Amino acid sequence: MAEIVLYHHAQGLTEGVAAFAAELRAAGHTVHLPDLYEGHTFATLEDGIAYARQTGFDTLMDRGVAAVEGLDEALVYAGFSLGVMPAQRLAQTRAGARGALLIYSCFPVSEFGDAWPEGVPVQVHGMVDDPFFAEDGDLDAARALADSTEGAELFVYPGKEHLFADSSLPSYDRAATELLTRRVLDFLRGIDG
């Protein structure tokens, strides 16, 4: 079974993020849920983004990196939107990464190094008409990653919601989330095998 560090999105460590982690745990995986916001959650994405800006993205990144200190190196790094920032950085730069799950976001590989690390599988998930994913360059970065990296998969879902896999938010899309969850669990089984 995999050991996963799952970073929350800009609205904080919501009940929906915790529920997603519970699904992974129910499948036998160990899941760590660092709280980059130190207990704060936000009702809207705009309020969460404002808090992230106020706190500072460098501070949030530092908290994300610090969260893995003392953990084994053989980790799968997963992130929802804002949480992709530390997840992708650690997958690309921390020795021993077993895989990465980048949900709603993807940075160009050059943000954290010269190339995606060899032998580290990665999945990217997002909605085709999500303005944050499709219009802010994330989808382009995800396509480039999938085209240039063996073991990289890109899954694009119909719709326009950003945080579609968070069951505690109005943006939740049950059908897309069920498909995403199946794909994530298959990915994790592949890492175990």
User: pLDDT, tens digit, for every residue of 109-118?
Assistant: 999 999 999 9
Domain holding 53: CATH number? 3.40.50.1820
pLDDT, tens only, 34-49 = 999 999 999 999 999 9
**pLDDT exceeds cutoff 90 at 193:** no
> For the residues 91-96, what does the mean pLDDT come to?
97
- Domain containing 154 equals 3-192
pLDDT, tens only, 7-63 = 999 999 999 999 999 999 999 999 999 999 999 999 999 999 999 999 999 999 999
| Count of domains observed in the chain | 1
pLDDT for the residue numbered 118:
94
pLDDT for the residue numbered 40:
97
Q: To the nearest whole number, what is the mean pLDDT of the chain?
A: 97
pLDDT for the residue numbered 135:
93
pLDDT for the residue numbered 192:
64
Name the band, by pLDDT with cuts 50, 70 and 90, for residue 162. very high
Q: Judging by beta carbons within 10 Å of its beta carbon (0-12, 13-18, 19+), is residue 18 exposed, middle or buried?
A: middle
- The one-letter amino acid code at 54 reads Q
> What is the crossing angle of helices 45-55 and 57-66, to 10°?
90
**pLDDT exceeds cutoff 60 at 96:** yes
Q: What are phi and psi of 99, to 5 degrees?
A: 170, 175
> For the residues 138-157, what does the mean pLDDT come to?
97
Reference 186, options 14, 29, 74, 16; nearest CA is 29
Can you state the percent helix, strand and coil of the chain, rounding each to 5? 45, 15, 40
Which residues, other chains included, contact 104 with Cβ-Cβ below 8 Å and sequence gap of 6+?
9, 80, 81, 84, 125, 126, 130, 132, 133, 138, 162, 163, 164
pTM for this predicted structure = 0.97
